[in-house]
Structure 1
Amino acid sequence: MSLPFDEFFLARQPILGRDQHLVAFELLFRTAGSTEANVTDDAAATAAVISHASQLGMEHVVGAQLAFVNVTEAALMSDYVRFLPADKVILEILETVKATPELVARVRELKSLGFKFALDDVVAESDDVRALVKLVDVIKIDVKGVDPARLPSLTASLRQQHKKLLAEKVETQEEFRLCLELGFEYFQGFYFARPDIMSGKKIAPSELAILDLLELVNSDADNHTIELAVKRDALISLNLLRLVNTPAAGVRGKIDTLGQAIEVLGRRQLQRWLQILLYATPGAQVEMNLPLLQMATTRGKMLELMSLKIHPGQRAAADTGFTVGIMSLTDALFSMSMEDILDTVDVAGEARAALLDREGEYGEMLNIVEMLEKDKCGKALSAALRHLDLTIKDLREIELAAFEWINELAQEVH
């Protein structure tokens, strides 16, 4: 069974290691009309995606990271699962799959071909889990689905079998710290993007330096003034030169000096790289495998491309889209309320309405991207797309183009 590829959405959820850096993405494929995950639809979605994997190229979707791909019993037993690159994917056996002798034999066969496996949504050591646990590399535990009193004993038992544990649905810093103590290796959930607002907190000097530079760019200061301001911070200078020499910057030939960078890039591109630099770890080089930076740049690029699709050729609208996307996670970055941040930074009215209240066209675009991140790919998402006169196909093409752009950036900046 297969359905037209254009009927499916793609959601990409980050998986982090103990050091809070990206190690993988879980790829989720959903039909456009369903409000809940539907097994039949999802099996068809997996089939459609795998059959297109050779055309898309998994590296365009996940870059240097691994991809966790959900597989049903039908997908595991099928021939098309072998279209996936064994070195790039971890096949995630859904909790609905029964460990029949035939299925266990198939998992052994695929392992012999180099595939790795994870068990999804484990909440207890059932017969099916026990039958498959020796064959898998990673066990995903749904921390919301396990009684907190039982979680320590369940994790201890599975760790004794030398399995790497992945905590799913980690939504708060407290949950992350608990799972860290229990010995989990990997973490999935949006705890890292949740603003932990600290009352009276001020923006750090290193971050203020970049915001001051953004103000200079926005206020049309001359190139010499901007260059002097950049040179006051050696790390900003270094990171800016590294960023502008990536393929994603789209500049031909090597740029060696700040003056040249400012001249060649122009104000629009300079503003973009400074916005990206906000997410660099203070006092360190830009690291594209920081999840907040990946998420913010993906949002920025998607809103830029959505703006261009809706308003072809209108670069100013596209730039505002990029700004809204990348600024949308600064509350989590600075541990401050968005209101306090926007009191510090001069942001245009449309962008301000989108960031504070998800209002206006940019607010609608941001809502769409947030629904995709959370895998809420049902009727609300379809309706939001229709309101902006975008199709499902448009959105997936925009998303893949954004992923590819981020991956180009990540290839050079590490």
Structure 2
Amino acid sequence: MNTPILSDIPASDLAILTIARQPVLDAKHSVVGYELFDRSIKRQDFTAASDAALLFNLLSSADSEVLSGHKLIFINCTHQTLAAGHLELIEPERVVLEIPPMPLDQSEPEDIETYRQILANVHQRGFKLAFDETVLTPAYSTWLTLASFIKLDVSRLEVAQLKAIVAQANQSTSAKLVAEKVETAEQFEHANTLGFHLFQGYWFAKPVLIKGQTIRPAQAVIIQLINLVRKQASTTEIEEVLKHDPTLSFNLLRFINSAGFGLSCEVTSFKHAVMILGLKKLFRWAALLMTSASVGASSPAVGSAAVVRGRLMELLAAELLSPEECDNAFVVGIFSLLDTMMGIPLAEALASISLPQTVTDALLYNKGLLAPFLQLTLACESADDTAFAETAMALQLTGDQVNWAHLQALAWAENMTR
């Protein structure tokens, strides 16, 4: 097998990545992990689709220093990512998700408790969670039991504040305390004396920049792959598609060998990669890849809306339908804007894809098992109260159930462009 290399890929499909890593050390200056940052994208450029890409770029582009051994990988994670389902593709064993507090305009008790449920689900999957000192305040007390790490900025907090926070943390949690932004020997000694477990900052090492490249496969090839997966094609058939498209195969091998996937050996065979990933994860990976590939051709908001729709329909269907139809509901949602993303009529776009009848019935004819879920999703999106009430009632879903699902689907997209 010829492993795809960057020289095989057209320059127009390449984008420069700049990943930074900074070590996290213990009191003996031994490296226990790395925090990864994406320096390629400006905060205001984030979209729902780029949030997924950011996660995969960080994990897929980490260098051998990060990948070797069993060191922890700290990644800043938005509430949007937590609710989106992207983490289903990541093995949790080595990953620490750094969770920000709720935005000030969303810090109502019910919202904090809603996100607590999302955090609990992620924690149950095996991800370790890190918070800042906000988690020690009364408003966030229900989050505290989920904390594996609490990170404190020692350059920002006064000595008396640090001492009080450490004392409170020692009384109320078993989470390890991490001193961030340690810039002098004095700060390290003081933090060490106070009882911090881990340390990070310029005094130990400045972030190391790792230049790399990401690629955007053509939509047609991704659709071909999705087509094969939906038909449950053989591994050999799927392997043939990967062999004939270096952009797609490069992305897959980079992802399957990423730090986030947690394999103990490198995968160099497409067949092996497909077997390890499985058809369900392969489909979700390809669907998200297609959304990011469409960003250049249409507004980033279109790709964002498509994935939000897919996730919302999947969550709504979970209340009433079989797991197979829940997967189909996701397909309906994510393909409902395919005409806009590809710039052709929806019927023409769907003609090239093998899809279950319930999917095509909902998308093309607004009928069948999944059509009411799409209608309800569109009502949520447009804030059409009448359509919302009528469709929810027809599906025997309460307003609370729909709002809960909508919040989970939207949470990862909120504040992305602020």
Q: TM-score, normalised by structure 2?
A: 0.45
What TM-score do you get using the length of structure 1 for normalisation? 0.45
